Structure formats: structure tokens, C-alpha cells
Chains A and B, each alone.
Chain A
Amino acid sequence: MFSIEDLEQISASVCRDMLGLNVQPRPIESQTSNAIVAAIRISGDWNTILEISTTPRAAQLVAQSMCGLTSEEMSEADIKDALGEIANMIGGNIKGALPGDSKLSLPCVGDHDQFPSDAQTGLSIDLSLEEQPFRVSMDTPAPANA
């Protein structure tokens, strides 16, 4: 089924190949309290929620890379939009790797305290994105009839 290696490969491909950012594995550490979180839901034959949790600085780097703008030219909305799109791309590729018919929600992005929990109930990887912590976690995909 879907493995942590799959999650790492998809996440790194999105950040490195498309955005041209330096991505490396990073030792697991506690999340910073001011993290920005992007989440997306897969529902249907398989169900899971994917979350990206990272620093505002890393989110800004993602947005700069996607938009080709300087930090002064970008708004907070641009930064949230870009991080949400990263969640969308990772989520879409995960959905494509799962069998059956599932749907992908639109992403939502907010501050860490707007999301109920970052408890690790499934797969989680910690990456270093331009030396900033970048965590991708998801519930273990469960079939609809589980």
C-alpha cells in the first residue's frame, strides 16, 4: 500500500523538482508553535487527511519560488495560496497512488492553532527545506468500509 518512502518521494519531488528548493531529510523534532499549516482531505474509497506544517519563513520561500516575486511584493494571501497548492500537489499524487475512486478536497491553510492536532497517527516525514523545518504528515489511508 502507501509507504513512508512514497510520501517522502512525492513531497521531495514537488519541492525540489518543481520549485528548485533544496530538500533534505531532517531529524524529527517538535513543531514550532508559530507554524503555518496546509491541509487537504482525500475521501471516497480511501480516506485520509494530509497536513503540511512549516515555518512562516519556509512558506515565504515556497511562495517566492512559485510566484517569482520578492518578499516585499508578496502578500500573506499569496503565501497561503502557494502553501495550499503544495498540499494540493502532494495530496493529488497520493490520491493517484491509492486504488479505487477517491476525491480530493480544496486545500485549507491557517495558523497551527487553527488545526485540531498534529498528533502523528500515521505517516510523517520531517524535511529540511532550505534549512527550514518542513513536516508532511497524514493519517494512514483507510478504506471507506473499514
Chain B
Amino acid sequence: MKVLIVDDSKAMRMIIQRTLKQAGFGQHQYIEAENGKQALDIVDVERPDTILSDWNMPEMKGIELLRSLRDKGNQTRFGFITSESGADVLQEAKTAGAEFVITKPFTADRFAAELEKVLG
């Protein structure tokens, strides 16, 4: 399975990838994008199976990325890993078609529990 991690922070992309491996999802191929705009380009070329995206990013936010994909008819599985933890964000994400929202800070146990149905 190919998983696209979208986050403007290099440090966060690295810790997400490391924590995913600690959570038992080390068998997947992980690719990265720095923002929604770059992710759109990568999706066209790489065709990932799942996208894990931050919410707040320069250039294009995660929610804009998700809406843009769905507008184009792209139904790639999509979830947020974000510092945004309000009920408004959760509702907006679900309405746009996100399968899950994991708030930072996270742990390997949390990833294992929440991502089993997606990456397991």
C-alpha cells in the first residue's frame, strides 16, 4: 500500500512516519508532500492508496486538498493528522469526506487503534 503524508513540517512528517512503523504499519510505502498543492501533483503521478494530511498548511490547506480531490472524482481514502481539535474541524472534515481525524499529540498505540481499519 502506498501512503502519502502531507505536512508542511519536515519534523512532523518524520515523526508520523516513524510512529506509523512503531504502530505496526512498517510494510507500507510512504511518500511525502509539503502542502496540499504539492500533494495534488503527487497524487496524479503516484496514485496513493491513502492520504494522511495536516490541516493548517501554507499554499493549500488540508481541507482544500480533500475538497479538490473529491471535486475531481478522486475517492482516495483520506484522514487528517492535525493539531486542530475543535468540534467544528471534526464536522468540516467528515462533511468533506475524511474517514478520520487524529489530533496531535499522538502515540503509536493511538495510531494502531485508529488506523487499523485503514492501514491494517
Q: Which residues of A contact B (CB under 8 A)?
A: 13-14, 17-18, 63, 66-69, 78, 81-82, 84-85, 88-89, 91-93, 95-96, 101-102, 104, 106
Residues of B within 8 Å of A, CB-based: how many? 22
Interface residues of B in 47-103 (CB under 8 A from A): 56-58, 82-86, 88, 103
How many A-B residue pairs lie within 8 Å, measured between CB atoms?
68
Q: Does B1 belong to the interface (CB within 8 Å)? A: no
CA distance A11 to B47 in the complex (A): 37
Q: Is B86 in contact with A95, judged by CB distance below 8 angstroms?
A: yes
Is there an interface contact between A104 and B56, defined as CB atoms closer than 8 Å? yes
Closest chain B residue to A20, Cβ basis: B107
Q: Does chain A have a CB within 8 A of B45? A: no
The CA-CA distance from A9 to B68 in the complex, in Å, is 37
Contacts of A89 in B (CB 8 A): 83, 104-105
When distances are taken between beta carbons in the complex, the residues of chain A under 8 Å from B56 are: 88, 104, 106
A101 — nearest CB in chain B belongs to which residue? B88
Q: Which of B11, B82, B85, B105 contacts A14 (CB 8 A)?
A: B105
